[in-house]
Amino acid sequence: MEESARSAPIRNQLLERLPRARRVQVIARCERVQLVNMESIAEAGGEMRNVYFPTGSSISMLVPMGESLPPEVRLAGSEGFYGISVALGMTISPVHVRVQEPGSAWRIGSAAFRRELARTPTLRDCVNRYIFVIMTQLMRNAGCNRFHSVPQRVARRLLMMADRAHSATFHLTHESLANVLGVRRVGVTEAASALQRHRLIEYSRGSVTVLDRPGLERASCACYRDDIALYRRYLG
Amino acid sequence: MSDFRQNHLLAALSATQLKRLSRDLEAIEMPLGDALYESGRQPQYVYFPTTSIISLLYVLESGASAQIAVVGNDGVVGVSLFMGGETTPSRAVVQSAGLGYRLAARAIKHEFIRGGPLQGLMLRYTQSLITQMAQTAVCNRHHSVDQQLARWLLHSIDRLAVPHITMTQELIASMLGVRREGVTEAAGRLQKAGVISYRRGQISVLDRRKLERLSCECYEVVRKETARLLPWVPPH
């Protein structure tokens, strides 16, 4: 499903950072698309045809590990974009890429995106800063995965998902959460039940509602707060 | 005598670019345990290891750290500098003593902004680093200490001329973010199986094939990706 591009409001923060004239120029090359839940954007080892700037949707990148459900390495929402590898000059995807939260996005062909990068230094600069932020976050995840408890990581993840869905309510199954965090399902169920008992979230039929955001932030490890500070500093 | 062409990234540069950079390249010794970067500081140099190996570590508030990548003669330490980061998010520690070159931040930034082959090489290297980091973050959660030790040993000896590495178990433990006893036990099992020998701080890999089988798939995923992204690095 595609709608008329130029009338829709932009809510992608990376594009918002561009000077107006440059933003208009980049968006003129984009199409507005609606992403469907779990839609495949790219396959590991396959070609990366398009780059996406989410505006309400979110896109998940999964490491192929020979398991039925590959673990997630990162989640891109309206704070950034999907297509770092394209920006770094690659054509083949190292990861599986799926829509995590359905919604709208700006889509641009990989070749067109590279042309825009080459002729628009401010876009290159924004993209590089975003890559720096993502590398920092990957490092943080390596530490978080190793040292923080499952309940803390569940809280961090729920906050990240609410931010990217631009809504206190979003889709989620315990199974996908367990998979994303790389922990057993029962661990996730216990953590989610505890959060529900404390009235921080409400969980029903595959959807989560955040009821008490400050409370959920306190339940999360410091990684969530550190992520927000990083975004403000480099992308705010 | 060390030659900067021993670093494959430098060796892949054009003669003109190398000539321009060689004025600013400075040969240095990198002793075991030396910190090239502390996280949160503004880096003054980027480092191109030739015979040394550097570990990139993410340090948590508690002081605990987790390894996120290994950089040797295949790469450069300090990618954040040309990606627009003001401070480095990781700690960089010499995990295998040797030689390398450093280049002032100003010189690399200047050369990077000029565009051309150096920029392309650095971006490609950044992609390979991102792949390594993403895989390590996931590995930290999914795989056993034995598997991670095997992976780390393989990544390390791939960057050395000989299959020996001088290391204390304490350093390995802090690098992998596990307890020292965990490393002692895992190393003991590898030694018993005849895969490595460990004497007075020197680890020698005796049976590489078997070590590969004992490692998680993360070693092979990263090795293949690196070979694809950095075709100028000789295969192991």
The interface residues of chain A toward chain B in range 118-157, judged by CB-CB distance below 8 A, are 125, 128-129, 131-132, 134-136, 138-143, 145-147
* Distant-in-sequence, close-in-space partners of B17: CB < 8 Å, separation ≥ 6: B111, B116, B117, B118
Burial of B126 (C-beta count, 10 Å sphere; 0-12/13-18/19+): buried
Confidence at residue A3, expressed as pLDDT on a 0 to 100 scale: 43
**CB-based contact A87:A123 (threshold 8 Å):** no
- The residue among B117, B139, B161 that closes a domain is B139
Confidence at residue A69, expressed as pLDDT on a 0 to 100 scale: 66
Residue B179 lies in domain: 143-228
More confident residue, A36 or B171: A36
Q: Are residues B105 and B35 in the same domain?
A: yes
Confidence at residue A66, expressed as pLDDT on a 0 to 100 scale: 67
Q: Are residues B106 and B204 in the same domain?
A: no
Q: Is residue B233 part of a domain?
A: no
Does the pLDDT of residue B234 top 80, yes or no?
no
Q: Are residues B60 and B122 in the same domain?
A: yes
Q: Are residues B174 and B212 in the same domain?
A: yes
Q: Is residue B235 part of a domain?
A: no
Q: Is residue B158 part of a domain?
A: yes
**The CATH number of the domain where B76 resides is what?**
2.60.120.10
Q: B228 and chain A: CB distance < 8 Å anywhere?
A: yes
**CB-based contact A138:B134 (threshold 8 Å):** yes
Buried-exposed string A77-102: b where 16+ CB fall within 10 A, e elsewhere: bbbbbbbbbbbbbbeebbbbbbbbbb
Q: Are residues B135 and B209 in the same domain?
A: no
Does the pLDDT of residue A1 top 50, yes or no?
no
* Distant-in-sequence, close-in-space partners of A166: CB < 8 Å, separation ≥ 6: A11, A56, A78
Instruction: Give B80-124 pLDDT, tens digit per residue.
Output: 988 888 888 899 999 999 999 999 999 998 888 887 888 889 999
Complex prediction ipTM: 0.87
Residue A32 neighbours by CB distance under 10 Å: 19
Distance separating alpha carbons of residues A216 and A225, to the nearest angstrom: 11
Please work out, in degrees rounded to the nearest 5, the angle formed at the alpha carbon of residue B21 by the alpha carbons of B20 and B23.
85
Q: Are residues B122 and B13 in the same domain?
A: yes
Confidence at residue A200, expressed as pLDDT on a 0 to 100 scale: 97
Q: Are residues B127 and B148 in the same domain?
A: no
- The residue among B139, B155, B183 that closes a domain is B139
Q: Is residue B236 part of a domain?
A: no
Which of A122, A152, A103 has its CA nearest to residue A26?
Answer: A122
**CB-based contact A215:A200 (threshold 8 Å):** yes
Least confident of B27-31, B48-52, B159-163: B159-163
- The residue among B104, B139, B174 that closes a domain is B139
Confidence at residue A35, expressed as pLDDT on a 0 to 100 scale: 96
Confidence at residue B171, expressed as pLDDT on a 0 to 100 scale: 85
CA atoms within 13 A on the CB side of B114: 13
At B91, the amino acid letter reads: R
Q: Are residues B54 and B108 in the same domain?
A: yes
A98-102, A228-232, B45-49, B89-93, range with greatest mean pLDDT? B45-49
Q: A223: nearest CA in chain B?
A: B60
Mean pLDDT (chain A) is 90
> Does the distance separating the beta carbons of B142 and A73 come in below 8 Å?
no
The H or E element that residue A42 is part of is strand A40-42
Arithmetic mean of pLDDT, A108-127: 95
* Distant-in-sequence, close-in-space partners of B110: CB < 8 Å, separation ≥ 6: none
Residues of B in contact with A234 (CB under 8 A): 84-85
Q: Are residues B152 and B203 in the same domain?
A: yes
**CB-based contact A81:A14 (threshold 8 Å):** yes
Arithmetic mean of pLDDT, A201-215: 93
**CB-based contact B80:B88 (threshold 8 Å):** yes
Which of A154, A44, A32, A171 has its CA nearest to residue A101?
Answer: A171
A207-210 and A50-55 strand pairing: unpaired
CATH 2.60.120.10 placement within chain A: 2-138
**The CATH number of the domain where B199 resides is what?**
1.10.10.10
Q: Are residues B131 and B30 in the same domain?
A: yes
Backbone φ and ψ of B164, nearest 5°: -125, 145
Q: Are residues B176 and B196 in the same domain?
A: yes
B56: three-class secondary structure by DSSP: strand
- Is A2-138 assigned to CATH 2.60.120.10? yes
User: The whole model's pTM is what?
Assistant: 0.89
Across the interface, which of A87, A134, A147 has its CB nearest the CB of B60? A147
Q: Is residue B218 part of a domain?
A: yes
Q: Is residue B134 part of a domain?
A: yes
Q: Which CATH number fits domain A149-220: 1.10.357.20, 1.10.10.10, 1.10.357.10, 3.40.605.10?
A: 1.10.10.10
Q: Is residue B200 part of a domain?
A: yes
> Does the distance separating the beta carbons of B89 and A146 come in below 8 Å?
no
CATH 1.10.10.10 placement within chain A: 149-220
- Strands of B91-96's sheet, edge to edge? B35-37, B91-96, B53-59, B65-71
Does the pLDDT of residue A179 top 60, yes or no?
yes
> Does the distance separating the beta carbons of B229 and A146 come in below 8 Å?
no
Mean pLDDT (chain B) is 90
* Distant-in-sequence, close-in-space partners of B216: CB < 8 Å, separation ≥ 6: B139, B142, B143, B144, B147, B148, B150, B151
Q: Are residues B188 and B117 in the same domain?
A: no
**CB-based contact A93:A50 (threshold 8 Å):** no
Ranges assigned E (strand) in chain B: 26-30, 35-37, 45-49, 53-59, 65-71, 91-96, 98-104, 164-166, 196-199, 202-205
Q: Per the structure, how many domains does chain B have? A: 2
Could you tell me the pLDDT band of residue A204, with boundaries at 50, 70 and 90? confident
Length in residues, chain A: 236
